[in-house]
Amino acid sequence: MTRFVERHPAWALIIIIAVAVALWLIFAVWPPGLEEAVGRKRVFLNALFNGITLGGLYFLVASGFTLIFGLMRNVNLAHGSLYLFGGYVGYAISASTGSWILSFIVAFILTALVGVLLQVLVFRRMEGQDLRQTMVTIGLSIVFADLMLWACGGDFYQIQTPNWLIGPIELPLITAVKSSGEPVYLRYPLVRLVIFLASVIIGIAMWLALNRTRIGMIIRAGVDDRDILAATGVRIQIVFVLVFALGAGLAGIAGVVGGTFQSLSPGEDIRFLLASLVVVIVGGMGSIPGAALGALIIGLAEQLGSVYIPTYAIVVTFLIMVLVLALRPQGLLARR
């Protein structure tokens, strides 16, 4: 931190000012002039929170994608299919047992199993052949999409939100002050906060597992140099299967999350594949903190964009991607 300030005093100043402005925008009561210029504070705060929570969902999908890429150099273009598959499994479980929590567990296990099969039956047979892997995964994603359309139809599925999560809660953030002097607090959907919290916990757990455990050490070593790691006697294929299972399982969990606060239907697989590609390109291929930062940026850009520049909202995320590719092609937080 201090080294960063010493080396880039100008950037540090800009960042400090930006953080201060953001904090002021969030906590202060907006003066009437500002409300007139950019709209009500309630709208701004909602868009901000939505961006952060949407970023949480993107992170869940993209972290698995980036983990798999980082270790195995596999661009798994069937990752979106795993997301949708997890969602459908979650729906089936929650509809038949009524348990939301159970649907996460089953979705994680089943998609992880599919991931293991993918790794053992497909990727292991074509290790190191990037183009072939890419083509095969594109093909698989089309096959999976058709199979799921066949099994589940084109209907929209929503996973039932458990009763204790329905409805908004009041946050201690003042959005406006009534003429009587009574403050109006921000009301925000509880389910989104819970989901965001869960994705933060998963993110931190993953970071800890990667940086504080033995298996994490092996994975990091594998990301750096797979061949040397294999030469030291680590059974790298088992590590690959494990990581693939984890990455796929995370996509499955994300499917349940997405099915709860959005919906599941054919086409969602491609949308989330595209989102995770953009997130990973912005954040840096293979980096978990990069995926978190990328997800946050893309989520915020989508939501703030949809409120303040609705016409061009669709372009904003791709604009960010183009900028990153032009200025820092390896991604914001990539090491190399």
Partner 1 sequence: MLKGSLGLIALSSLLLSGTAFAQEKIKVGVTATLEGTYTVLGEDGIRGFQTALNVLGKKVGDKELEFVIASTDATPDSAVRAVRKLIEQDKVQILLSPLSGDEGIAVKNFAKTHPELTFVNAASGAQETTYVDPAPNFFRYNMDGAQWQVGLGKYAYEEKKYRKIATVGEDYSFIYTQVFGLVLEFCGAGGQVTNRQWVPLGTKDFASVIAALPDDVDAIYLGLGGADAVNFLNQYQQAGGKAHLMGGSIMIDQTILSSKGNAKNALVGTLAASGQADTWEDPGWQKFVKDYQDAFPPNKRFPSPSLLATNYYGSTMALILALRQVNGDLSNNQAKYKEALAKIELDAPNGKIKLDANRQAIGTNFVTEVVDDGKGALFSKVVKVIPNVNQTLGYDPAVFAKIGLPSRTVPECKKY
- Binding letters toward partner 1, positions 141-180, x by CB under 8 A: -x--xx--xx--xxxxxxxxx----xxx------------
Query: Contact with partner 1 (CB under 8 A): which of 12, 38, 43, 171?
Result: 43
134 vs 160 by CB, closer to partner 1? 160
Choices 18-26, 236-244, 262-270, 317-325 (CB under 8 A): range interacting with partner 1:
262-270
Instruction: Based on the shown chain and the rule CB under 8 A, indicate whether residue 271 belongs to the binding site for partner 1.
Output: yes
Instruction: Based on the shown chain and the rule CB under 8 A, indicate whether residue 262 belongs to the binding site for partner 1.
Output: yes
Choices 14-22, 119-127, 131-139, 183-191 (CB under 8 A): range interacting with partner 1:
183-191
Write the CA distances from 258 to 67, 237, 250, 302, integer angstroms.
20, 31, 12, 16
How far, in Å, CA of 8 to CA of 24, rounded?
A: 24
Size of site (CB under 8 A) for partner 1: 49
Instruction: Based on the shown chain and the rule CB under 8 A, indicate whether residue 76 belongs to the binding site for partner 1.
Output: no
Query: Contact with partner 1 (CB under 8 A): which of 31, 33, 172, 310?
Result: 310
Structure tokens at 230: 């294999």
Structure tokens at 84: 């949708």
Question: Could you tell me if 12 and 5 are in contact, meaning their C-beta atoms sit under 8 angstroms apart?
Answer: yes
205 vs 314 by CB, closer to partner 1? 314
148 vs 285 by CB, closer to partner 1? 148
Identity at 113, one-letter amino acid code = L
How far, in Å, CA of 272 to CA of 190, rounded?
A: 23
Tell which positions 242-261 bind partner 1, by CB under 8 A: 261
């953080």: which residue's tokens? 19
Bridge partner list, 186: 171
At residue 323's C-alpha, the angle toward residues 318 and 327, to 5°, is: 150
Residue 251 CB, shortest distance to partner 1, in Å, is 17
Give one word for 129, left, alpha or beta, with left for phi > 0 and alpha for psi -120 to 50: beta
**Burial (CB count within 10 angstroms: exposed 0-12, middle 13-18, buried 19+), residue 294:** buried
Identity at 272, one-letter amino acid code = F
Residue 252 CB, shortest distance to partner 1, in Å, is 18
How far, in Å, CA of 146 to CA of 151, rounded?
A: 9
How far, in Å, CA of 26 to CA of 127, rounded?
A: 49
Choices 15-23, 40-48, 100-108, 124-132 (CB under 8 A): range interacting with partner 1:
40-48
Question: Could you tell me if 133 and 75 are in contact, meaning their C-beta atoms sit under 8 angstroms apart?
Answer: yes
Instruction: Based on the shown chain and the rule CB under 8 A, indicate whether residue 27 belongs to the binding site for partner 1.
Output: no
Instruction: Based on the shown chain and the rule CB under 8 A, indicate whether residue 123 belongs to the binding site for partner 1.
Output: no
53 vs 63 by CB, closer to partner 1? 53
Residue 320 CB, shortest distance to partner 1, in Å, is 17
Choices 42-50, 107-115, 228-236, 282-290 (CB under 8 A): range interacting with partner 1:
42-50
Query: Contact with partner 1 (CB under 8 A): which of 136, 191, 243, 256?
Result: 191
Instruction: Based on the shown chain and the rule CB under 8 A, indicate whether residue 267 belongs to the binding site for partner 1.
Output: yes
**Closest C-alpha to 49, from 205, 262, 204, 194:** 194
What is the DSSP-derived secondary structure letter of residue 234? -
Choices 22-30, 109-117, 190-198, 278-286 (CB under 8 A): range interacting with partner 1:
190-198
- Give the H or E element holding residue 171: strand 168-177
Structure tokens at 192: 């989104």
Which residues are near partner 1 by CB under 8 A?
39, 42-43, 46-47, 50-51, 53-54, 142, 145-146, 149-150, 153-161, 166-168, 187-192, 261-263, 265-268, 271, 302-304, 306-307, 310-311, 313-314
